[in-house]
């Protein structure tokens, strides 16, 4: 233990994230089973992907029989923020973070892991980040398996009710910044309005492409109406 203090420190820092992922991914597991995904498939999806929104939309596309192009575009739009996080985080990495370590660590860059690593006062070492990733991915995968297993045993009515947990997490993500910033609130409301239009008027658009259209259009509108000034970035 004493020989790997950075790894142990990363494990400790990742415990709260892992516990949070455990509860959230439980909802994803239930959602996956409800859409016809097997427990094993849900396990593999969570093991190889640490992206709640991407996974939720992914299983929706699979269940709807969507195309690979549609899946790729949806994942690109939803998960593009991780690339930006990786670029930002690279400024706080230790010199021991070689290219090989960067490729491996890219697997575990999520919103929460990025927040912990980017706010660390010391440079982030590979061992520290691996510790966080291991605990977080374990919590996410375990929660998925438990949720998927429960989804096969619980009554359909209860499964349907618990499936809303994942969407509750999405709401919890956007409400705090929307409450603090009216500009963000307006962009969110526009995205919601556009989603309603796609759902009830533009019915020929599939759910996956609707996510792409709403996300990209709302983002472009926000960037045009509320550009971030240089002094605000600093």
Predicted confidence (pLDDT) per residue in 184-195, tens digit:
889 889 988 998
Q: What is the pLDDT at residue 138?
A: 95
> What are the distances in angstroms from CA 120 to CA 9, 31, 124, 170?
11, 35, 7, 26
Residues 127 and 96 in one domain: yes
Examine residue 139 and state whether it is found in any structural domain, yes or no.
Answer: yes
How confident is the model over 43-92, as pLDDT tens digits?
999 999 888 778 888 888 888 888 888 888 888 877 877 887 888 888 88
- Residue 117 has what DSSP assignment? H
Q: Is the pLDDT of residue 160 over 70?
A: no
Domain range for 227 = 181-234
Q: What is the pLDDT at residue 129?
A: 93
- The residue assigned the tokens 């230790």 is 94
Model confidence band, residue 164 (pLDDT cutoffs 50, 70, 90): low
Q: What total of structural domains would you count in the chain?
A: 2
Q: Is the pLDDT of residue 218 over 90?
A: no
Examine residue 60 and state whether it is found in any structural domain, yes or no.
Answer: yes
Residues 187 and 145 in one domain: no
How confident is the model over 3-29, as pLDDT tens digits?
578 899 999 988 988 888 888 888 888
Nearest Cα to 168, choosing from 52, 84, 55, 79? 52
Examine residue 221 and state whether it is found in any structural domain, yes or no.
Answer: yes
Q: What is the pLDDT at residue 162?
A: 62
Nearest Cα to 208, choosing from 64, 10, 98? 64
Residues 27 and 129 in one domain: yes
Residues 41 and 116 in one domain: yes
Examine residue 175 and state whether it is found in any structural domain, yes or no.
Answer: no
Examine residue 20 and state whether it is found in any structural domain, yes or no.
Answer: yes
Residues 131 and 193 in one domain: no
Residues 196 and 139 in one domain: no
Q: What is the pLDDT at residue 54?
A: 84
Instruction: Please say whether the beta carbons of 27 and 146 come within 8 A.
Output: no
Residues 133 and 188 in one domain: no
Examine residue 34 and state whether it is found in any structural domain, yes or no.
Answer: yes
Examine residue 173 and state whether it is found in any structural domain, yes or no.
Answer: no
Rg of the chain taking only CA atoms, in angstroms: 19
**Mean pLDDT calculated for residue range 88-116:** 88
Residues 39 and 71 in one domain: yes
Q: What is the pLDDT at residue 141?
A: 95
Q: What is the pLDDT at residue 1?
A: 47
């Amino acid at each position: 233990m004493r020989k790997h203090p950075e790894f142990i420190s990363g494990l400790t820092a990742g415990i709260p994230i892992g516990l949070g992922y455990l509860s959230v991914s439980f909802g994803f597991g239930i959602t996956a089973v409800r859409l016809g995904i097997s427990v094993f498939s849900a396990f593999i999806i969570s093991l190889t992907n640490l992206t709640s929104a991407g996974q939720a939309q992914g299983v929706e596309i699979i269940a709807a029989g969507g195309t690979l192009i549609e899946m790729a575009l949806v994942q690109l739009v939803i998960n593009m923020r991780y690339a930006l996080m990786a670029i930002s985080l690279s400024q706080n990495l230790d010199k021991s973070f070689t290219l090989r370590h960067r490729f491996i660590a890219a697997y575990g860059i999520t919103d929460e892991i990025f927040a912990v690593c980017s706010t660390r006062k010391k440079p982030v070492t590979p061992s520290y980040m691996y510790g966080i990733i291991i605990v977080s991915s374990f919590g996410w995968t375990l929660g998925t398996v438990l949720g998927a297993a429960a989804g096969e045993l619980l009554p359909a009515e209860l499964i349907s009710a618990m499936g809303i947990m994942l969407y509750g997490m999405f709401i919890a993500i956007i409400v705090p910044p929307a409450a603090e910033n009216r500009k963000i609130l307006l962009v969110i409301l526009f995205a919601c309005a556009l989603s309603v239009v796609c759902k009830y008027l533009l019915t020929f658009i599939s759910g996956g492409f609707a996510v792409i259209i709403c996300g990209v259009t709302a983002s472009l509108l926000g960037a045009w109406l509320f550009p971030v000034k240089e002094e605000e970035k600093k």
